[in-house]
Structure 1
Amino acid sequence: MKSTHLGIALMIAAMLSFSVQDGLSRYLAETYNTPMVVAFRYWVFAVYVMILAARRPEGFRAAIHSTRLPVHVLRALLLVIEIAIMIWAYTIIGLIETHAVFAFCPLMVVALSGPLLGEKLTLPRLIALVVGMLGVLVILRPGTGVFSWAAVLPLVSAFFFALYSVLTRLTARSELNFPSFFWPAVIGAVVMTVIGVPKWQEVAAHDWPWMFAYAAVSVLSNWLLLKTYELAEASAVQPFAYMQFVFITLIGIFAFGESLSLVVLIGVALVMASGVYALWSERTAGNG
């Protein structure tokens, strides 16, 4: 049964959970290497999806069956790279600036949906893309002494996640949602085991609770997001995904001593406004 109001509430809760997850990943990555941190997260997440699959009414094998396994392998690799780059960016430029640039990701999805999904680049979408790119330029400030190469990292990460999202929409055309949820977790765990185990560092006793909290919050975040899309239409709840920047800003300021400059605030406002406009125009066109 669809419920837009409950879906919105769950989306906001998911964004809070994702923000806590990102804060914990920054804390851990300041002490331990990124592949190790990502590997631990994937191990716990893989166990979680295996349990979910085993409890599916249609049975384990039927639940994970997919005719697009090569696409899921590609999605898994894209997601692993995206997560690793984001965590690396957190340790260099901080949570706030990383997420300010990453906010351009939904507009990248719009841009990639044309060539990959055959969707038309309408005038509202084109306007949103142009305004969003201006917002990113305001944040990055290329050609000034403020610009840093590291500020490009979240833009690269956003591209990988946008491509992952478009491929997810592609698989959704021919199969159920669960395989799209299951395979990236399991394949990602295998990939990160190969990469992360050789780089494993001894974890201090006081950091083990934070490691498990990080993995648990990651599972919770994905569960909340899954429930959100079960309860409400994506177009109705997607604008509330931008609440993550509010939560990230608070965590960045109060937990890590970061600051939100006026220039970054103006830039991210342009990016978010263009993203909401693109979603609103699509929803209006769909209702019309």
Structure 2
Amino acid sequence: MSQNGKGAMLSLLAFGIYATSDALVKILGEDYSPFQLIFFSTLFSFPLAMGMILTDPQPGTLRPVHPWWIAVRSGATVICGLSAFYAFSVLPMAQVYALAFAQPLLITLLAIPMLGEKVGLRRALAVVAGFAGVLVVLRPGTAELGLGHLAALSAAVFSAVASVIVRKIGNEERPVVLLLYPMFANLAVTALAMPALYRPLAADHLGLVAVQALLGWVAGVVIIAAYKAAVAVVVAPMQYVQILFAAAFGYLLFNESIDGTTAIGAGIIIASGLYIVLREDTPGASANRPVLNTRMRPETGTAPRPFALQRLLGRRGRDAAATPGE
């Protein structure tokens, strides 16, 4: 199998794992609030995070180089996580994914003021078409819109904000800073809500939360392996298979089905996102490639962003290669 083929298969596996994690969020969301789920999911992630941080050979402190950007990103991550968990608990999985796939469109727009990206007419038209697809999914005026729809869109917006901030400052901040601050923010915010919203977790549900947290880490490692094996333009489009996993989980576990209008709207959004990815890979079309170089998952802060995880793993690998006798 070619390296690109290997990368494609690994990315399919990673996004399947991510979809499984989201299905667990939906199952647990029937009984527990997003605040409680994110609190415990982040708590279970901390031993994994600390294990990686303690082996990070890069010297330095946890003081951010860009504290205000880190604060904004951490806040955006908290809002994104709460929004995504709530959306999965009240909407069909496929519909949440369809709306979340607006993230590449939003990244393209945010990259203009934040990264100085110049967006040409073709990508601009793709963004317009993508937002038309969002309207098709929402069908305002003909379907009842609720907080779940607003939450799904909110997750896409704030995830895009967090992603573009990482593209802006990521190479100047330590990976542990990018990793820990959103987790600290999650714990701080959700802990405040625990006295009012806490419900005792059954043992099996506690186990599911632990599995959900672990799956986020495993998927992050697998997607990094995919990007190492294949070029980005092969791996990035694979994110859209998540809607197929969502449809399967929805049908098998939650008695959900995709209606025709949602399928059409999702198709428009996906086509727009794919065009943006392919266009960014065209020489001279994009200076920053903000969508192509972004691992497309909502930034919930309950698991590491692959960018930070990749830098931690990559640095450890380089140090090991430099000291083969140890």
Give TM-score scaled by structure 2 length. 0.79
- Give CA-to-partner distance per residue, 1:130-188, whole Å, 9 cap, x none: 110111111111121x2313323211211011111111111124345553234323433
- Asked whether the equivalents of residues 107 and 129 of structure 1 are also in contact (C-alpha less than 8 Å), the reply is yes
Match of 1:8 in 2: 8
Larger mean Cα displacement after TM superposition, 253-262 or 204-213: 204-213
- Indicate yes or no: 2:137 matched with 1:132: no
Distance in 2 (alpha carbons) for counterparts of 1:44 and 1:208: 10
Look up the equivalent residue of 1:147 and give its one-letter code: E
Match of 2:303 in 1: none
Match of 2:146 in 1: 149
Distance in 1 (alpha carbons) for counterparts of 2:52 and 2:19: 24
Match of 1:243 in 2: 241
- Asked whether the equivalents of residues 25 and 89 of structure 2 are also in contact (C-alpha less than 8 Å), the reply is no
Which of 98, 106, 109 is 2:96 aligned to? Answer: 98
- Listed as ranges, the gaps of 5+ residues in structure 1 are none
- Indicate yes or no: 2:270 matched with 1:272: yes
- Asked whether the equivalents of residues 89 and 98 of structure 1 are also in contact (C-alpha less than 8 Å), the reply is yes
The 5 Å alignment of 1:186-265 reads 186-196=184-194, 199-265=197-263
Look up the equivalent residue of 1:20 and give its one-letter code: T
Compared with structure 1, are the counterparts of its residues 173 and 206 closer, same or farther at alpha carbon in structure 2 (3 Å cutoff)? Answer: closer
Distance in 2 (alpha carbons) for counterparts of 1:214 and 1:253: 20
- Give CA-to-partner distance per residue, 1:1-36, whole Å, 9 cap, x none: xx5443333322221111111110111111112100
Query: Shift of residue 109 of structure 1?
Result: 0.5
Query: Shift of residue 44 of structure 1?
Result: 1.6
Compared with structure 1, are the counterparts of its residues 238 and 267 closer, same or farther at alpha carbon in structure 2 (3 Å cutoff)? Answer: same
Compared with structure 1, are the counterparts of its residues 184 and 81 closer, same or farther at alpha carbon in structure 2 (3 Å cutoff)? Answer: same
- Indicate yes or no: 2:66 matched with 1:68: yes
Compared with structure 1, are the counterparts of its residues 6 and 183 closer, same or farther at alpha carbon in structure 2 (3 Å cutoff)? Answer: farther
Distance in 1 (alpha carbons) for counterparts of 2:11 and 2:67: 28
Larger mean Cα displacement after TM superposition, 116-125 or 232-241: 232-241
Distance in 2 (alpha carbons) for counterparts of 1:194 and 1:96: 31
- Asked whether the equivalents of residues 46 and 186 of structure 1 are also in contact (C-alpha less than 8 Å), the reply is no
- Asked whether the equivalents of residues 82 and 157 of structure 1 are also in contact (C-alpha less than 8 Å), the reply is yes
Q: Alignment identity in percent?
A: 25
Look up the equivalent residue of 1:245 and give its one-letter code: I
- Listed as ranges, the gaps of 5+ residues in structure 2 are 287-326
Distance in 2 (alpha carbons) for counterparts of 1:218 and 1:110: 25
Match of 2:26 in 1: 26
Instruction: Tell me the secondary structure at the aligned position of residue 141 of structure 2.
Output: coil
Instruction: Tell me the secondary structure at the aligned position of residue 282 of structure 2.
Output: helix
- Asked whether the equivalents of residues 42 and 192 of structure 1 are also in contact (C-alpha less than 8 Å), the reply is no
Match of 2:38 in 1: 38
Aligned residues: 283
Instruction: Tell me the secondary structure at the aligned position of residue 23 of structure 1.
Output: helix
Distance in 2 (alpha carbons) for counterparts of 1:4 and 1:190: 41
Compared with structure 1, are the counterparts of its residues 7 and 70 closer, same or farther at alpha carbon in structure 2 (3 Å cutoff)? Answer: farther
- Give CA-to-partner distance per residue, 1:257-284, whole Å, 9 cap, x none: 1110111111101100110001111101
Compared with structure 1, are the counterparts of its residues 190 and 232 closer, same or farther at alpha carbon in structure 2 (3 Å cutoff)? Answer: farther
Distance in 2 (alpha carbons) for counterparts of 1:287 and 1:91: 39
Q: Considering fraction of residues, name the structure with more helix.
A: 1
The two structures, once aligned, show a CA RMSD in angstroms of 2.3
